[in-house]
Amino acid sequence: MPSLRSTVESVAIQVAMGLPEQVQRVLLRRPVVVDGLALATELQLMLRLRDLVRRPESQELPVEQGRDELVEESALVGGRQPVGAVRDLSVDGQTGPLAARLYIPSSRLGAEPAPTLMFLHGGGWVYGDLDSHDAVCRFLAEQSGVQVLAVDYRRAPEDAFPAAAEDAIAAYRWLVAHAQDVDADPARLAVGGDSAGGNLSAVVAIAAAREGLPLTFQLLVYPATDFSRRTRSRDLFGHGFFLTDEFMDQCTDWYVPNVADRTDPRASPLLESDLPAGIAPAHVVTAGFDPLRDEGEAYADLLAEHGVEVTRVRYASMIHGFFNIVGVGREATAYNREIAGVLRDALQRQGERH
């Protein structure tokens, strides 16, 4: 059951982010402009409300409590999203079965093989699970007409690097081998995720190319790609815009405690010096006010330099985490609808080729 605080906060966010933008601007008085970019008014208001209710940062709490906090916070902005059907199942991980959830869009109900995205959630390899990204998976499936198979990989600090990467690759191998079990079209398989999940999706796409596994498309939403260097965007946006320096430092220390591992391409795909041929086309999404912005865009550059078909978009007014905002406001939801459209079109084109 939601707490009283969450109920009150949910109503406040829905009302505030539903106000006309002109009213929101009056309430805020002045815009936030950094690096020549203007923060979306609705997100400025959301961050102000978050400060007012003094919502704790996940890294300030015991791990399990921090995980619960992220699920609760995601529900505040995710809302209740319709979808055709949801099916809980398990897939193979590197060391044992992993919990997974299949989201079937209304347009795909039935047994006909459907385009399918294996989705890997964000959360710094420490936080996040099937529930924290339930709303966005529902939204993505329904808006794109693509099945979404969300996979719950092992997390740090209980299981440090390379556990999550190994699980992600093993889960994708399972999907290829068991496509028929989930009514997936083997010719229209994609992998994607946000933040840590974008990192793992990039790792899966490289492994799939090396192993000759079919993969049509990779959707990388503000992916983390390099543990070894500090970027200008991290200096600019490491405080005040949801994703903080402290959170990133903690997650780094827990996921890759061995400093030498931080240059391993399975942790930092931007440092991959031997990209294989045949990497699937990628769509790389970044946010203007995101500390991870520059490394995500650098990874798009790396792929393009190696002949990979890449499209990219920077949503200049957005913050890290906007991908979860599908139940309140206008601007972030509209951008997420665009992302779903890119996924739909990419797998539809592949279907037409076959």
Show which residues are catalytic: 195, 290, 320
Whether the link from the prior residue into 162 is cis, omega within 30° of 0, is yes
Q: How far apart are CA 318 and CA 335, in angstroms?
A: 9
Give the strands of the sheet with 97-104, arranged side by side. 85-92, 97-104, 147-151, 114-120, 184-194, 217-221, 282-287, 310-315
- Beta strands of 70-225 (E only): which ranges? 85-92, 97-104, 114-120, 147-151, 184-194, 217-221
Closest C-alpha to 270, from 243, 314, 306, 300: 300
CA angle centred on 274, ends 272 and 280, rounded to 5°: 80
* Contact predicate 188/157, CB 8 Å: no
In single-letter form, the type of residue at position 222 comes to Y
Measured from the Cβ of residue 271, the count of other Cβ atoms closer than 10 Å reads 17
Residue whose entry in the numeric block shows the structure tokens 């889960």? 171
* Residue 140: Cβ-neighbour burial (10 angstroms; 0-12, 13-18, 19+): buried
Q: Which residues make Cβ contacts (< 8 Å) with residue 252, sequence separation at least 6? A: 227, 262
Please choose, from the candidates 79, 136, 81, 130, the residue with its C-alpha nearest in 3D space to the C-alpha of residue 106: 81
Q: What are phi and psi of 3, to 5 degrees?
A: -75, 165
